[in-house]
A and B are shown apart, each in its own frame.
Chain A
Amino acid sequence: MTNIVQVRNLLKQYNPPSGVIAVKDISFDIRRGEVFSLLGPNGAGKTSTISMLSCLLAPSSGDAEVAGHSITTAAPLVKQAIGVVPQEIALYQTISAAENLIFWGRMYGLSGQRLQERVAATLAIAGLTDRAHDKVESFSGGMKRRLNIAVGLLHQPQILYLDEPTVGIDPQSRRRILDTIKTLNEQGMTVLYTTHYMEEAEELSDRIGIIDHGELIALGALAELTRLVGESDLIDLDVEYNGADQQALAAGLQAQPGVQRVVVEDGRLLLAVDQADTALADVVVAVARAGAHVRQLEIREPNLEALFLHLTGRALRD
């Protein structure tokens, strides 16, 4: 079997019948050995999806199979097959890293020699061997994140779920975590990764599902997805308005030939254009004619941000 996860028409409505529909009838597969990312802004439904696939949250309808077991009828078998790294630090702060790993290892059913080996191995993966006997509360945010991941690896799961594992940490720690995930994947681990950072999804993923308002709006490898945007480039304008009307300027730019879409983001204007070098001059002139001027400008190659913009009319940002 090449698919380790098969999601079929999964739907979650909180507090039915009137509550939020956080996940709207989504279907996708995850292949054995790949890194699959769910990319979407806050509130898109990433955590709700991962919680259902962890058997922590019952779906309102639909089902999924993980490692050949249904999440609705075979939860214990699913849980044995998966390693879950929650979005929040879920550790006992007043005991040491090693004591945490021993405890969580026992919860995964490990004991004796194998438990000792796995604790040592995951401490090494997290780079915490030297700090094994220090209390977790004395750790930096990055160290806690790494230990949080190590717990999910204890029982050598068939698939590792990571829910936004790099939120709120410094760049070095993030780098380290991304490298760890790549190494794990090279050693054969299948990974389900959620993030709202486009660069992370681009760097790590074999395939990416873009999720917004509970819907899977695009799915494929990075190259396939960027091809969806067509040949469009992205022009990111930082505009000094000098009293000019932002909406009117945006509408004016939208009317320019070669401009596919214009999105207003705070002070910035994001333009998806056929080709940046041909459109650029017209765009800058149009801005000047409206009485404003361009303070700064950036041209970006086709990427997931452009795709998200293309599909939703909104920017994918923090």
Chain B
Amino acid sequence: MKKPWFIALNDTLMRFRDRNGLLLMLAAPLVLAAITGAAFGGLTGSGSSASPITDIPVILVNADEGAFGQQVVDAFDAAELADLVEPVAMVDLDAARRQVEEGAARAVVYIPAGFSAAVADPANGAVLEVLTDPTSSFSPLIIRSIVEQIAAQFNTAISGGQIAADQALARQDVLGPALAQLPQAISAAVSAQPGGRRIELHSRSLAAEERGGDFNALAFFAPSMAILFLMFTIFEAARSLLDEEREWTLPRLLSTPTRFDQILAGKIGGVLITGVLQLSILILVSGLIFGVHWGSSWPGLALMVLSTVLAAASLGMFITAMARDAAQAGVIGSAVALIFAILGGNFITATAYPAWLQPLSKLTINRWALDGLTDLSLRQGGFGDVALEIGVLFGMAAIFFFIAVWRLPRRFAH
């Protein structure tokens, strides 16, 4: 039968045409995520320049056999950079790149084979490569700047100008004494070659689809606010059965040759379509404007969206089935949405809650939805990281759904 489809479509169209509804559905969660993201950014990481940036994980891949490659590596190990960066040496460039993609490191500094030879031979151009994580805002800039400084020191040494060495000394406050010593070390090894080829720095950010994660406050608040406002929207949508009873369109629907189960299927369909559209739009837009990256698994993300919407919709239908009227359902719905949001950690991450609160927290849809979505947005997880959450959410959906669908026809029978 096409009737449930037309009912669902009609409901969805009415909801997405309602300007106030859209404000609550889409604008409010994005604005709130932006505000809270900005407010908490300083506390949680690279979202703000005011925060101290320390121990940036960077991988050095030195394929050079000569002394100059080693000098670049040594420059990273310098004492004055010890707080700033956490260099790790690796041999395999692809493996190193994967580390950045997976969010384990912010950048790879690659010293190609023959680097020393290229530096020593003015006919050849020497190249240093920096691959950075595009989701982090500051750490790639810092790594790039360090490598630029190192390259500059080499260049200075190569051109052999004493002035350059002075300039290097002047930069001591920025880079520390060890780096400032670099030109001297290099000039000792290479004879001055005025007009020689300089070291080029090839720096690129990894492509968007392979980028990794940094702790981005928005990567927490985008899913958290999306879940909170999804609940509001979905509860209101589920309540529309009671609104339609009050506004006489439900009795009129029942006076047409349309069965109650068709009406119910249509109403539930409308709630699901609305919820899936809302959450998908929020995910898409937060990706575009906040740069939140939603993990490495499309099926994982799609199933997280579906299971979260199903669970919230079933809870909404359950409230509708149990409430006396639309007004009562409204009050219960708002209370449940807020209590679940607090318990589930939509405002403060639930992992910070005391042990006795944890079981309560894990009774909420919000907790599982948020755990799953932040596994994707914050920790760049894949399908395996969210499978448990998806399963729990589908389970919650099933429980509420069956109670609601058993109770609703009785609730509306005359």
Please give the residue numbers on chain A whose beta carbons come within 8 Å of chain B beta carbons, in ascending order: 51, 54-58, 76, 79-80, 82, 84, 86, 88-95, 103-104, 106-109, 111, 151
Contacts and interface: CB of A to CB of B under 8 A. Distances in A.
B254 A56 contact: yes
B414 A57 contact: yes
Interface stretch (B94-102, B244-252, B295-303): B244-252
Nearest to A108: B256
Contacts of A93: 247
A89 B248 contact: yes
Interface of B: 2-3, 6, 10, 13-14, 17-18, 247-249, 251-259, 414
B251 A86 contact: yes
Nearest to A54: B255
A91 B252 CA distance: 9
A202 B253 CA distance: 32
Contacts of A106: 2-3, 6
A197 B284 CA distance: 59
Contacts of A92: 10, 14, 249
Given A95-B14, A107-B258, A90 B6 contact: no
Contacts of B17: 94-95
Contacts of B247: 90, 93
B13 A107 contact: no
B20 to A, nearest CB: 10
A56 B251 contact: yes
Nearest to B255: A84
Nearest to B254: A56
Nearest to B414: A57
Nearest to A50: B255
A25 B36 CA distance: 66
Contacts of B253: 107
A79 B256 contact: yes
Most B-side CB within 10 Å, residue of A55, A56, A89, A90: A90
B13 A95 contact: yes
A7 B256 CA distance: 21
Given A103-B10, A108-B257, 10 more contacts: A58-B414, A86-B251, A90-B249, A91-B249, A94-B17, A95-B14, A95-B17, A104-B252, A104-B256, A109-B257
Contacts of A56: 251, 254-255, 414
12 contacts: A56-B255, A58-B414, A90-B247, A92-B10, A93-B247, A95-B14, A107-B253, A107-B258, A108-B256, A108-B257, A111-B2, A151-B252
Contact of A84 (B13, B18, B252): B252
A90 B248 contact: yes
A108 B2 CA distance: 12
A165 to B, nearest CB: 14
A107 B251 contact: no
Nearest to B14: A94
A246 B18 CA distance: 58
A142 to B, nearest CB: 18
Most A-side CB within 10 Å, residue of B13, B257, B259: B257
Given A94-B14, A94-B18, A95-B13, A107 B248 contact: no
